[in-house]
Amino acid sequence: MREIVLDTETTGLDPLTGDRIVEIGGVELLNHMPTGRTYHQYINPERMMPKEAFEVHGLGDDFLRDKPVFRAVGQAFLDFVGDDSQLIIHNAPFDMKFLNVELEKVGLPTIPMHRATDTVQMARKKFPGSPASLDALCRRFGIDNSARTKHGALLDSEILAEVYLELIGGRQPDLVLATGPRQQSGTQDEWRPRPRPVPLASRITESEAAAHAAFVAKLGDGAIWLKRQETSV
């Protein structure tokens, strides 16, 4: 199973009022394991960066002026995410809205919302009432985010990949005990448990055994412990 942990940085909060994407970062997971393959692209938003956006991202007009516009990189982005990979995004509706507005503007296929997994909703479901920000989840899971002095799409994607793996059960979510037939290892017979040659010594004291017997006697003839004694005789 291929997943892409994704993040975008933007000039503001609403693409329908003219805000644009200025950075995209993505990390590839295969069967919940990072492959080392990433996607990272700065984008010229073709508009001035608001002061508040610069303070959040640290990306100014001078830095972005010579970067490619979205129409020049949109297809390469779609090629990276592929046709069926699930996108893992923190606050997915926000990023998906920006991405699809940008894709639609340049005549490229949009990405269906069902392909996005929202880690904010995952965190709120798993830890109801607790903060679900990326920084809060890093603190909860003991993930080092000290390099996150500014919002950066690739760095945030790498951090989110660690958070996501913790949300789904840790670093090895698919590690389960095998329930199928055992592999033979040089013998024709499968391993089967056998009785111990010498039973383990009881660790129950006489006073504990007496207290248990008195407790069971109060439960009447239907006590499960009495039934076990009858079937073992």
Please identify every residue annotated as catalytic.
151
Which residues, including other chains, have CB under 8 Å from residue 173's CB and lie 6 or more apart?
32, 165
The amino acid that residue 218 corresponds to is K
Angle, helices 92-105 vs 70-81, to 10°: value is: 120
Give the three-state DSSP class for 118. Answer: strand
Torsions phi, psi for 34 (to 5 deg): -60, 135
Q: Is 90 exposed, middle or buried (0-12, 13-18, 19+ CB in 10 A)?
A: buried
CA–CA distances in Å: residue 145 to residues 32, 68, 140, 177: 20, 29, 12, 33
Torsions phi, psi for 207 (to 5 deg): -65, -40
Q: Helix (H) and strand (E) counts for the chain?
A: 9, 5
- The label of the residue with tokens 């001035």 reads 48
CA–CA distances in Å: residue 93 to residues 53, 63, 86, 90: 19, 28, 14, 9
What is the DSSP secondary-structure string of 18-78?
T--EEEEEEEEEETTEEEEEEEEEE---SSPPPHHHHHHH---HHHHTTSPPHHHHHHHHH
